[in-house]
């Protein structure tokens, strides 16, 4: 069974990434491929969910509308599908996947009490919420890759600049395009007091720390979770109520878990392999036409 909830070894949507008429938004030598294609992205995904939960508006959308408790893999599968389609698909597939997510967001709305105690309406497509989700995602993937990944073509600034395309596809105006801008934008949200941790956040943190996994998978996941927690800045970690064992120990344990996953999965995932198949086909087509 895959994250996408299908019995096949590789979900159909991943196989379709081999189709398409262009190279897509990101090339094989891009910073985005380097960061998203590494095993560190497993830790990054957990870290990103923890960070996103600190914004009460983003938390309300998850808590009120997501069935993460009864079907935790469903939401994860949808997120993975969007990330990999935007990363590896052609532009038409990336745009279609983004529009699908935005249509789902249109239905996610309600009211929440913000960090200042004010009751406010929200929609999952609100700028403020989309911006925080993008910031948390970008920061988390870089923090994880910094510890457990390799070189990034063009460095971290290149990743922030390139992945800003995904934010713009989602409707975010003016996403950060450098590490300096990323840090400044995150600090602005924190300094404004717009983040908070309440009982809902504590519930989500507990769920992410103890998800309903098969017994054999739990030790590896606990190492991944500890690594994710250790990679979070102390000020956010305190808000989340996370205590971490010695950071070098957590980092080493998470690295060992990721290496084990990497040996099992191989150097390239099915999304990347499908994308390379498309790129090879397009290159041959251009060569024959010249």
- What pLDDT, in 10s, does the model give residues 88-107? 999 999 999 999 999 999 99
CATH number at residue 55: 1.10.490
* Both structure tokens of 179: 């590490």
- Give the whole-angstrom CA distance, residue 113 versus residue 205: 19
pTM given for the model: 0.92
From residue 221, alpha-carbon distances to 74, 78, 146, 171, 210 in Å are: 18, 20, 20, 33, 9
Q: Could you tell me if residue 207 is inside a domain?
A: no
- What pLDDT, in 10s, does the model give residues 57-81? 999 998 888 766 666 656 677 888 9
Q: Which residues pair with 119 in a beta bridge?
A: 113
Helices (H), the chain: 12-15, 31-36, 40-52, 56-65, 72-88, 91-107, 127-148, 155-170, 179-191, 199-209, 218-230, 234-240, 247-265, 270-289
Q: Could you tell me if residue 255 is inside a domain?
A: no
Segments forming the whole domain that contains residue 27: 17-196
Q: Could you tell me if residue 92 is inside a domain?
A: yes
Q: Could you tell me if residue 5 is inside a domain?
A: no
Between 58 and 7, residue with greater pLDDT: 58
Residue with tokens 């985005």: 32
Q: Could you tell me if residue 2 is inside a domain?
A: no
pLDDT for position 69? 67
pLDDT for position 262? 84
The contacts of residue 140 (CB under 8 Å, 6+ apart) are 44, 45, 47, 48, 51, 231
Q: Could you tell me if residue 26 is inside a domain?
A: yes
Element spanning 7, H or E: none
The neighbour count for residue 46, using CB atoms within 10 Å, is 24
Q: Could you tell me if residue 232 is inside a domain?
A: no
Q: How many domains does the chain have?
A: 1
What is the pLDDT of the chain when averaged over all its residues? Answer: 91
Q: Could you tell me if residue 140 is inside a domain?
A: yes
3-state secondary structure of 120: strand
């Amino acid at each position: 069974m895959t994250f996408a909830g299908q019995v096949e070894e590789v979900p159909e949507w991943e196989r379709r990434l081999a189709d398409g008429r262009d190279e897509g938004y990101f090339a094989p030598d891009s910073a985005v491929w380097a960061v998203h294609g590494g095993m560190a992205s497993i830790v990054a995904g957990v870290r990103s969910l923890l960070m996103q939960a600190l914004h009460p508006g983003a938390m309300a959308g998850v808590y009120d509308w997501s069935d993460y408790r009864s079907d935790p893999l469903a939401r994860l599968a949808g997120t993975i599908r969007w990330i990999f389609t935007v990363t590896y698909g052609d532009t038409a597939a990336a745009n279609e996947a983004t529009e699908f997510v935005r249509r789902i967001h249109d239905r996610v709305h309600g009211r929440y009490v913000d960090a200042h105690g004010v009751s406010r309406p929200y929609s999952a497509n609100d700028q403020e919420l989309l911006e925080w989700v993008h910031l948390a995602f970008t920061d988390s993937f870089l923090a994880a890759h910094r510890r457990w990944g390799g070189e990034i073509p063009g460095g971290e600034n290149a990743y922030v600049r390139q992945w800003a395309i995904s934010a713009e596809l989602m409707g975010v105006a003016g996403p950060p395009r450098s590490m300096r801008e990323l840090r400044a934008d995150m600090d602005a949200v924190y300094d404004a007091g717009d983040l908070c941790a309440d009982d809902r956040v504590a519930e989500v943190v507990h769920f992410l720390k103890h998800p309903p996994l098969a017994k054999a998978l739990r030790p590896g996941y606990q190492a991944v979770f500890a690594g994710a927690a250790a990679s979070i800045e102390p000020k956010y970690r305190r808000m989340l109520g996370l205590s971490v064992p010695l950071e070098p120990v957590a980092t080493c344990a998470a690295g060992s878990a990721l290496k084990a996953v990497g040996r099992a999965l191989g150097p390239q995932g099915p999304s990347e392999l499908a994308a390379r198949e498309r790129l090879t086909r397009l290159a041959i087509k251009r060569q024959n036409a010249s």
